A and B are shown apart, each in its own frame.
Chain A
Amino acid sequence: MSHQYQAIGWNRQKRLYDLVVLTGVVVYIALFIGFGAWLFPYATAETLIIRAAGSAAFLLLHVVLCIGPLCRLDSRFLPLLYNRRHLGVVTFLLGAAHGIFGIIQFHSLGDKDPLVSLLTSNQNFRRLPDFPFQQLGFLALVILFLMAATSHDFWLRNLTPPIWKTLHMLVYVAYALLIGHVTLGLLQSETSPVLAFATGAGLVTVLSLHLAAASRERAVDLKKLKTVTNGFVDACSVESIPEKCAAVVSVSGERVAIFKFDGKISAISNVCRHQNGPLGEGRIIDGCVTCPWHGYQYLPETGGSPPPFTEKVSTFQTQIVDGRVWIDPKPKAPGTRIEPSRISQAGVSS
């Protein structure tokens, strides 16, 4: 939650997360260079560094891309999502190291400017095996730079979450460019089937996870609710909602999270104000709906964050009829207080 500017709101979990990531990267690069020098004694140090950094960035990008759909499919992966932006920044730094060493080794010894050399030395766009793969990698690196540079909450707040999320969807373009970069670059010169298989397996994993998650999300979006009376719709049964958790339904083009807590029912928008995280997949902690992504909190009765925080989400009128939860699909203004429906009353309550 944010009520003042902080470069990074460090906490124990973020430190631990970053420590694991950095240790993993250092160990990977050390092993890559060590084994590379042993298995290929003719390889130069620059080549080993270029390949170690490039392969680490490519692997880490796969991890970054898999975290989102894994969390949609299984909530046990949510801790990985918490600090995903730092993973993205590390991916960019590794990619930048790969690119800078590559430019120094292959483009800085001639009479042309290294960047001009990178962009113009190969213009054979018509033949796949000779395609200028380095330019694909450069474009991907520019996108990763844009994302790393705007990854801070400062940009998230100023651009607004929908625009920020749209901008960060460019990572999929960067991924496609990097598949081209690897396939038309490394896999043209290195014919080991292991490399081709590993790249193909990574591609299949990323595509399958995203398509599975998208298919599951679509099923929730398309589920039609029955209008009962006075414009209210029959959302779900009270029993189907676990205590201090929510059922998520799709009404009026967006999702609503219906929470059950302390014998009461409240409905708020499912969309967190921070990064549009799914509030309905969070829990009620200390009386507040807590976003599963980064812990932003909202009071279920008002949709407002507890002071001193100022975020607000829309609230929805609810009724309980014969053990079923009915909701008014028209959202109230963000922060509007609505008395929760009481479960204990028999028959109709509102």
Chain B
Amino acid sequence: MIQPLRKTHRRIFLALALLLPLLFLSGLAFRHSWPTPAKPRNSAALQLPPVATP
């Protein structure tokens, strides 16, 4: 590789070393769904206070 291309290569990778990890980590941080522990289907109902009877 000739010297101007070596310089271009170095600059491209300095830029990519900043941008790509940022893109990758942002993509992971803002993704829709994360693995969550399984919950019982009616867990919300179990937490309701007991209904007063007349």
Q: Which A residues form the contact surface with B (CB < 8 A)?
A: 128-129, 162, 165-166, 169, 172, 175-176, 179-180, 183-184, 187-189, 191, 193, 196, 199-200, 203, 207, 210-211, 214, 217-218, 221, 250, 253-255, 271, 276, 278
Contacts and interface: CB of A to CB of B under 8 A. Distances in A.
Contacts of B2: 162, 254, 271, 276
Contacts of B52: none
B13 A196 contact: no
Contact of B21 (A184, A193, A203, A210): A203
Nearest to B13: A210
B13 A188 contact: no
Contacts of A188: 27, 31-33
Interface string B3-26: 111101110111011011101101
Contacts of B4: 162
Contact of A172 (B12, B21, B31): B12
A217 B3 CA distance: 9
Contact of A254 (B3, B20, B28): B3
A217 B1 CA distance: 10
B5 A162 contact: yes
B30 A179 contact: no
Contacts of A276: 1-2, 5
Contacts of B31: 129, 187-188, 191
Interface class of chain A by DSSP: helix
A188 B31 CA distance: 5
A191 B35 contact: yes
Interface residues of B, number: 28
Given A165-B5, A217-B6, A180 B13 contact: no
Given A183-B27, A203-B20, A207-B17, A169 B35 contact: no
11 contacts: A176-B16, A176-B20, A176-B23, A179-B24, A184-B27, A187-B27, A187-B28, A191-B35, A210-B9, A254-B3, A276-B1
Nearest to B9: A214
A187 B25 CA distance: 11
Interface class of chain B by DSSP: helix
A176 B19 contact: yes
A172 B16 contact: yes
B3 A221 contact: yes
Contacts of B24: 179, 183, 199-200, 203
Contacts of B1: 165, 276, 278
B3 to A, nearest CB: 6
B9 A218 contact: no
B6 A207 contact: no
A68 B33 CA distance: 37
Contact of B30 (A128, A218, A221): A128
A276 B8 CA distance: 15
B16 A191 contact: no
Contacts of B34: 191
B26 A128 contact: yes
